[in-house]
Amino acid sequence: MYYVDLYGDDADLFIAGLAMGNCRVATFSLYRYDPYLTFNESDWFSCKLRSATKSEKQIVKRRNILLLRACRLLTHEICHLFGIAHCIYYSCLVNGSGDLEEDFGQPLLECPVDLRKLYSLINFNICTRYEQLLTFFKMHDFLDEIKMVETKLNIIKHSTEPNSSNSSMLTKIVKRKRANKINTKKDVPLTTATVPEDEEVSETSAKHTKCH
C-alpha cells in the first residue's frame, strides 16, 4: 500500500488499485483518496494537500472519508484476488471504474451475484457477516452503508425461516434486487475546491483516471 500515485503504463493518469488474481498479488494507492488533496482536470499532476485542521470534528470526518474509500478499494481488489471479475449486473462493489467519480459512486457491498460467488469460494454465514459489517459501519459513521446493510438484514430476517440456509438467504436477496431498480449510491458530493479551515471536509476529486 502506498501514499503516492501509481501507474500501470504511460497512458495512465494514475491507478488507485491493481490486482493480479493468478499471482494473488495486489497494490494500492490511497493518495488521491485524501479529501484534503486538491487537484483539477486542467492541471492534473499539480496536487496540493492543505494543512490539517485542528478541529476534532474535521479530523474524524477526514479519517472516516479516507477509511471508507480505502475499504472500498481494498475489498474490491481482494475480490479480484479471489478470482471475481468486474461485475456487469448491478451497482456493486466489484463494478469497474474509470475515474474517481465512478469509484466514489460504488457501494461498499457486493451485489447478490457476487455475494453468491464469494460465498461459494470461502463459505461464511451471510447474516452474521452483515451483522458484523453493521457494527463496523456504525463505529465509523458510514451512514449510507448502515442503511444498505440494515435493508439486507431486514430482507433476510423477514423473508426466511429461522435457521435458513445461506442459499435461501441469497435467493431472497436476489429476488428483491431484481424487483427494484438499481440505485447507484454516491458517498459525499464531489468538488475540486480547496476546503477552508473552518468549513466541512468535502470530497475532492477529478475525472478521467484509471482507478481499478
Task: Kindly report, residue by residue over 36-58, the tens digit of the pLDDT.
Answer: 666 666 555 556 666 666 777 87
pLDDT surpasses 70 at 198 = no
pLDDT surpasses 70 at 149 = yes
Task: Give CA separation, 178 vs 70, 81, 92, 151, in Å.
Answer: 29, 27, 14, 15
**Quick one: residue 27, left, alpha or beta (phi over 0 = left, psi -120 to 50 = alpha)?**
beta
pLDDT surpasses 50 at 173 = yes
Q: Show which residues are catalytic.
A: 77
Question: What is the C-alpha separation between 136 and 118, in angstroms, rounded?
Answer: 20
Please work out, in degrees rounded to the nearest 5, the angle formed at the alpha carbon of residue 28 by the alpha carbons of 191 and 127: 90
Residues constituting the chain: 212
Confidence of residue 26 (pLDDT cuts 50, 70, 90): confident
